Chain A
Amino acid sequence: MRGNSRRPRLSPSSPGVKTRRFCTHGRQRECVKQRVEIHKLRQGENLILGFSIGGGIDQDPSQNPFSEDKTDKGIYVTRVSEGGPAEIAGLQIGDKIMQVNGWDMTMVTHDQARKRLTKRSEEVVRLLVTRQSLQKAVQQSMLS
């Protein structure tokens, strides 16, 4: 997740990459967002997505190895199963999940986040994620 030299370079006009400005806690943040649509896989009784999450407002953000800002209590992708639905959809380790099917994930507890992703009635989840490598790639392409 740090080695952004290996990630493909994305231009701002490529689909799925949007630059947005929004305010959080009085600071203006520019965030590059990616939409990821995951179709859950049925495994017996369960519907799985094939990745793991970490973080939450009830968790210790300083232990998050993926965040740049160590007070960020957001939900991060900590592991992506090989060949799983998440990997197929393009989710990457280190992504920060901002929304799930329209529900905000920036101010939720760990358990709330898990529940929003594992609703049995939903077979497809549309995530809005932000990726640091993405951000850096966009910045680099804008500079060049």
Chain B
Amino acid sequence: MLYIRQMALSLEDTELQRKLDHEIRMREGACKLLAACSQREQALEATKSLLVCNSRILNYMGELQRRKEAQVLGKTGRRPSDSGPPAERSPCRGRVCISDLRIPLMWKDTEYFKNKGDLHRWAVFLLLQLGEHIQDTEMILVDRTLTDISFQNSVLFSEAGPDFELRLELYGACMEEEGALVGAPKRLATKLSSSLGRSSGRRVRASLESAGGSGSSPILLPTPTVGGPRYHLLAHTTLTLAAVQDGFRTHDLTLASHEENPAWLPLYGSVCCRLVAQPLCMTQPTATGTLRVQQAGELQDWARVHGVLKGTNLFCYRQPEDLDTGEEPLFTIAINKETRVRAGDLDQAAGRPFTLSISNQYGEDEVTHTLQTESRGALQSWMEALWQLFFDMSQWKQCCDEVMKIETPAPRKPPQVLAKQGSLYHETVLSEPTAPGGPAIEPLDDIAAVTDILAQREGARLETPPPWLVMFTEQPALPSPCSPASVAPAPARTHPLPWGRPRTFSLDAVPPDHSLGASCSVAPLPQQRSPRSRGLCSKGPPRTWLQSPV
């Protein structure tokens, strides 16, 4: 038994070790990125990742330490028996989600309205910690034109207990380089590190880094990279179960910085957010099994049902399969804080063993359902499940009244970079042949196909064709290629080009029609377009006729 427990513990450690290694690797990456950054904004993002990695590493190491200590204590202390019932009942875990975070700012009206002077900008982000999980929000740039700092995405913690403490910290950094105010030694250090040459300069920086500056935060490890941006703790607060509500609430922030701090922001002093919690007992079935329920009425015969205890209801289905097919249950018994459950020999179930009754008060009336389980063991497990549910309800309090909706946080929008995409040629759509015997791929089709693909990738319609297209084309549009019996003959391909040759276009060559689902009926020939100037960067007429479903 002890051996298995040790293995289990070490397995948990492996998981933690793995997370720790991952964070260490991320930290190395962030350091390298920071060293390579040239722009302030990139440096701020890199510093933020670095700080988050650091704090996670600290956290995991602390957790490992705690576990090792517990293990040691477990070995030397008394051995708990495995077969006995748990000494204490522990409440079920839940998911906690915080979203729609908004921190109001309070600018001096002269600053806000007159808009004089340089626009100071700050980069801020929130760090949220629940237990051993640390998550951060995106970095937001703030200047005096904003009245609030609003964070778009939501943060979800999966394994929270009802006694959770969600620590929220706001960090800010100046967008501008911290100037002469910061102090001479730093400037000297920067000068030294930059004049020593790249590799030795980096080493100097690294040593300065590890020496560490004065830490300003409980969660974050201080990493003052010389010359890099520095985040300061601006405010913090801790939220608990009492703050959970299916709606928006305002909480007070404890301000942590003062005006002398370079990253100081005029915070109003509160934070608005939506903090919801979904205990697992509300969203997942806690017990299932076959039951016999005494029917109400004169007959009083017993119906066989498949019972599912989930949330604050005991659903009774006709068959176990109904749960999967989505059929409505036969009936539902509510179970809440006021419900009373009794087990054992009951009057109304004389002669039937393993019964329990569930009573609910509806106004003046008391409604009692009597259920019979299959065996003593089944009765015990149902009772256990019900007691656990009552315990969870007493612990999670308002979260068990109704299931609070948690929206799956959308994946964070990646930066707009056209990275790691396959060759455009893999995405080129081949159009149908326009005439029997003609080339399967019209050379000009490719350009528009490429243009279309680029337009789709950028997520916006290309209003103009790429500038280089101007050099080649200047012709009227013709009907869609998928109409073989088309009316339009005429200025069609006078010089059909074989596939593979470098493209030269005659003035009469045809731009294709790549509109989605374009009907194959014929449109009459359009009027001639006026000739355009042949400047490389002049805008041409639109070449697409897109269709969108609504």
Chain A residues in the interface with B (C-beta under 8 A):
2, 48-49, 51-56, 58-65, 70-71, 78-79, 109-111, 114, 117-118
Contacts and interface: CB of A to CB of B under 8 A. Distances in A.
B194 interface: no
Interface of B: 460-461, 463, 476-477, 480, 513, 515, 517-519, 521, 523-524, 526-527, 541-550
Given A60-B477, A60-B542, A65-B523, A54 B515 contact: yes
Contacts of B548: 52-54, 110, 114
A59, A71, A114 — most chain B CB neighbours (10 Å): A59
Given A53-B547, A63-B513, A78-B547, A71 B527 contact: yes
B550 A114 contact: yes
B547 A79 contact: yes
A59 B549 contact: no
B544 A59 contact: yes
Q: Which of A54, A55, A61, A111 has the largest count of B CB atoms less than 10 A from its CB?
A: A54
B461 to A, nearest CB: 6
B545 A51 contact: no
Given A53-B547, A63-B477, A111 B461 contact: yes
Contacts of A71: 527
Contact of A59 (B523, B527, B542, B550): B542
Given A59-B545, A65-B519, A70-B527, A117 B477 contact: no
B282 to A, nearest CB: 22
Contact of B463 (A51, A58, A70, A114): A58
B550 A117 contact: yes
B545 A49 contact: no
B528 to A, nearest CB: 10
A58 B526 CA distance: 17
Given A54-B515, A110-B461, A111-B461, A62 B477 contact: yes
Contacts of A63: 477, 480, 513, 515, 518, 523, 544-545
B90 to A, nearest CB: 36
Nearest to B516: A52
A59 B546 contact: yes
B550 A49 contact: yes
Contacts of B518: 63, 65
Interface centre among A53, A60, A61, A71 (most CB of B within 10 A): A60
A58 B461 CA distance: 9
A71 B545 CA distance: 12
Contacts of A48: 549-550
A52 B549 contact: yes
Contacts of A56: 546
Nearest to A51: B550
Contacts of B460: 111
Nearest to B519: A65
Contacts of A114: 548, 550
Given A63-B513, A70-B524, A70-B527, A118 B546 contact: no
Closest 10 CB pairs of A and B: A62-B526, A63-B545, A54-B547, A62-B477, A117-B550, A70-B526, A52-B549, A60-B542, A65-B523, A49-B550
10 contacts: A49-B550, A51-B550, A52-B517, A56-B546, A59-B542, A63-B513, A63-B515, A63-B523, A64-B545, A110-B548
Contacts of A51: 549-550
A52 B547 contact: yes
A28 B382 CA distance: 80
Contacts of B523: 62-65, 70
Nearest to B543: A60
Contacts of A109: 461
A110 B527 contact: no
A14 to B, nearest CB: 27
A101 to B, nearest CB: 13
Contacts of B477: 60, 62-63
Contacts of B513: 63
Contact of A78 (B461, B476, B480, B517): B517
B524 A54 contact: no
Contact of A118 (B461, B527, B544, B550): B550
Nearest to B512: A63
B521 A65 contact: yes
Identify the interface centre among A59, A60, A63, A111: most chain B CB within 10 Å of its CB. A63
A110 B519 contact: no
A65 B477 CA distance: 13
Contacts of A60: 477, 541-545
A78 B521 CA distance: 13
Nearest to B529: A62
A64 B544 CA distance: 10
Contacts of B526: 62, 70
Given A54-B548, A70-B526, 9 more contacts: A51-B550, A65-B518, A65-B523, A70-B524, A78-B519, A79-B517, A79-B547, A79-B549, A110-B548
Nearest to B407: A45
Contacts of B463: 58
A55 B515 CA distance: 11
Nearest to B520: A65
Contacts of A61: 545
Nearest to B463: A58
B196 to A, nearest CB: 53
Contacts of B542: 58-60
Contact of A110 (B521, B524, B541, B546): B546
